[in-house]
Structure 1
Amino acid sequence: MAPEPAVLPDDALAEVLRRLAPHVLAAARRVCKAWRDTVDACLRGSLLSRSVRGIFINFTQHSCFSEFFSRPSTGPAICGGLDFLPCMGVQVTGHCNGLLLCGERMNEDRALPREYVVNPATRRWARLPRRPPPHMPGFDQTAYLAFDPAVSTHYQVFLIPRLPAAGETDDDDDESEWPPASYVMHVFSSVTQRWDETTFLREGEAAGIVGNMDSDLWYNRHRYHAVYWQSTLYIHCQHGYLARMSLSDLTYTVIKLPGACELRGYPNHHLGRSLGGVYCAIHDGWNQLQFWYLNESCGQIEWVLKHDTFLGKAFEREDYARQLAKRWILQDVNYRKWSSKYPEDAAYTRHANYKAPVEEKYDWNSDEDNVLDIEDDVQGGCRDNYYFLGFHPCKEVVFLISSGISARGLAYDWNNSKFQDLGTSCLADYDPFNGRPCGQTDSSFPYTPCWMGEFAGNELESLLEDEKLYRKKLEQKSQRKEKATFTFMDEYDLRKHRGHTKRVKDSNAKNRRRRRMAAW
Structure 2
Amino acid sequence: MALDHCDGLLLLESGCVVNPATKAWMDLTPYPPPPPLIEEQEEVKTYPEEHLVFDPTLSPHFEVLIIPHLLPFDKDRSKKQPPQNSAWPPSPLVLNVFSSRTREWEERPFVREGEAAGAMADVASVRGTHYAAYWRGTLYVRCQSNFVMRLSLLDNKYRIIHRPVDAEAREFSSRYLGKSKQGVYFASLSKDRLLVWLLDEPCGDMKWVLMHQTDLGPSLATSHKLDGHWILHHINYECSTWLFPKGRKPLTLARENFEWNSDDDDIVNDAAEDTVKRRCDEYALILGFRPYKEILFIESMDRGYAYHLSSSKFEELGKLHPVSLHGLPNEHLDVELSFPYTPCWIEEFPQPELDCKLNSIWKP
Residue 155 of structure 1 and its aligned partner are, at CA, apart by 0.8
Residue 331 of structure 1 and its aligned partner are, at CA, apart by 2.8
Aligned to 2:112: 202
Out of 140, 148, 151, the position equivalent to 1:242 is 148
Going from structure 1 to structure 2, the CA distance change for 1:416 and 1:459 (only over 3 Å counts) comes to closer
Residue 355 of structure 1 and its aligned partner are, at CA, apart by 4.3
Q: How far does the alpha carbon of each residue in 1:377-429 deviate from its partner, in whole angstroms, 9 at most, with x for none?
A: 995422522221100011110111221xxx22211112222222222222523
For 2:304 and 2:123, locate their aligned partners in 1 and report how far apart those are by CA, in whole Å: 36
Aligned to 2:326: 430
SS at match of 2:314: strand
- Counterpart mapping for 1:433-512 below 5 A: 434=329, 440-456=334-350, 458-460=361-363
Q: Are 1:365 and 2:270 counterparts?
A: no
Aligned to 2:31: 131
Going from structure 1 to structure 2, the CA distance change for 1:400 and 1:332 (only over 3 Å counts) comes to farther
| Structure with the higher strand share, 1 or 2 | 2
Residue 174 of structure 1 and its aligned partner are, at CA, apart by 5.1
SS at match of 1:333: coil
Is the CA contact 1:259–1:266 (under 8 Å) kept in the aligned structure 2? no
Residue 183 of structure 1 and its aligned partner are, at CA, apart by 0.7
Higher relative contact order, structure no. (Cα contacts within 8 Å, ≥ 6 residues apart): 1
Residue 337 of structure 1 and its aligned partner are, at CA, apart by 3.1
SS at match of 1:272: strand
Residue 123 of structure 1 and its aligned partner are, at CA, apart by 1.6
Out of 215, 228, 239, the position equivalent to 1:310 is 215
Aligned to 2:3: 93
Equivalent residue pairs, number = 338
What amino acid is the match of 1:455? Answer: F
Residue 315 of structure 1 and its aligned partner are, at CA, apart by 4.2
What amino acid is the match of 1:410? Answer: Y
SS at match of 1:282: strand
Out of 35, 43, 58, the position equivalent to 1:151 is 58
Is the CA contact 2:7–2:56 (under 8 Å) kept in the aligned structure 1? yes
Q: Are 1:338 and 2:240 counterparts?
A: yes
TM-score between the two structures when normalised by the length of structure 1:
0.59
Q: Are 1:189 and 2:89 counterparts?
A: no
Going from structure 1 to structure 2, the CA distance change for 1:358 and 1:194 (only over 3 Å counts) comes to same
- Counterpart mapping for 1:27-426 below 5 A: 91-103=1-13, 114-134=14-34, 135-136=36-37, 138-167=45-74, 171-172=81-82, 175-214=85-124, 216-217=125-126, 219-220=127-128, 222=129, 224-259=130-165, 267-284=173-190, 286-312=191-217, 313-319=220-226, 321=228, 327-331=229-233, 333=235, 337-339=239-241, 348-349=245-246, 352=248, 355-360=251-256, 363-366=259-262, 367=264, 369-372=266-269, 380-383=276-279, 384-403=282-301, 407-426=302-321
Moved over 6 A (4+): 260-263
For 1:378 and 1:293, locate their aligned partners in 2 and report how far apart those are by CA, in whole Å: 38
The more displaced of 157-166 and 423-432 is: 423-432
For 1:348 and 1:95, locate their aligned partners in 2 and report how far apart those are by CA, in whole Å: 31
Is the CA contact 1:320–1:421 (under 8 Å) kept in the aligned structure 2? no
Going from structure 1 to structure 2, the CA distance change for 1:320 and 1:122 (only over 3 Å counts) comes to closer
Residue 187 of structure 1 and its aligned partner are, at CA, apart by 0.5
For 1:212 and 1:140, locate their aligned partners in 2 and report how far apart those are by CA, in whole Å: 17
Going from structure 1 to structure 2, the CA distance change for 1:159 and 1:260 (only over 3 Å counts) comes to farther
Percent of matched pairs sharing the same residue: 37
Residue 370 of structure 1 and its aligned partner are, at CA, apart by 4.8
Going from structure 1 to structure 2, the CA distance change for 1:331 and 1:451 (only over 3 Å counts) comes to closer
Is the CA contact 1:156–1:189 (under 8 Å) kept in the aligned structure 2? yes
The more displaced of 240-249 and 353-362 is: 353-362
Aligned to 1:514: none
Aligned to 1:9: none
Q: How far does the alpha carbon of each residue in 1:451-473 deviate from its partner, in whole angstroms, 9 at most, with x for none?
A: 1233156455xx9xxxxxxxxxx
Q: How far does the alpha carbon of each residue in 1:258-294 deviate from its partner, in whole angstroms, 9 at most, with x for none?
A: 136876689432100001200001122x122111000
Residue 100 of structure 1 and its aligned partner are, at CA, apart by 1.0
Is the CA contact 2:222–2:277 (under 8 Å) kept in the aligned structure 1? yes
| Structure with the higher helix share, 1 or 2 | 1
SS at match of 2:239: helix
What amino acid is the match of 2:110? Answer: F
Going from structure 1 to structure 2, the CA distance change for 1:377 and 1:268 (only over 3 Å counts) comes to farther
What amino acid is the match of 2:296? Answer: V
SS at match of 2:245: helix
TM-score between the two structures when normalised by the length of structure 2:
0.82
Structure 1 residue ranges without an equivalent (≥5): 1-90, 104-113, 322-326, 464-520
Is the CA contact 1:144–1:157 (under 8 Å) kept in the aligned structure 2? yes
For 1:180 and 1:260, locate their aligned partners in 2 and report how far apart those are by CA, in whole Å: 27
Is the CA contact 1:98–1:449 (under 8 Å) kept in the aligned structure 2? yes
What amino acid is the match of 1:149? Answer: P
Structure 2 residue ranges without an equivalent (≥5): 351-359
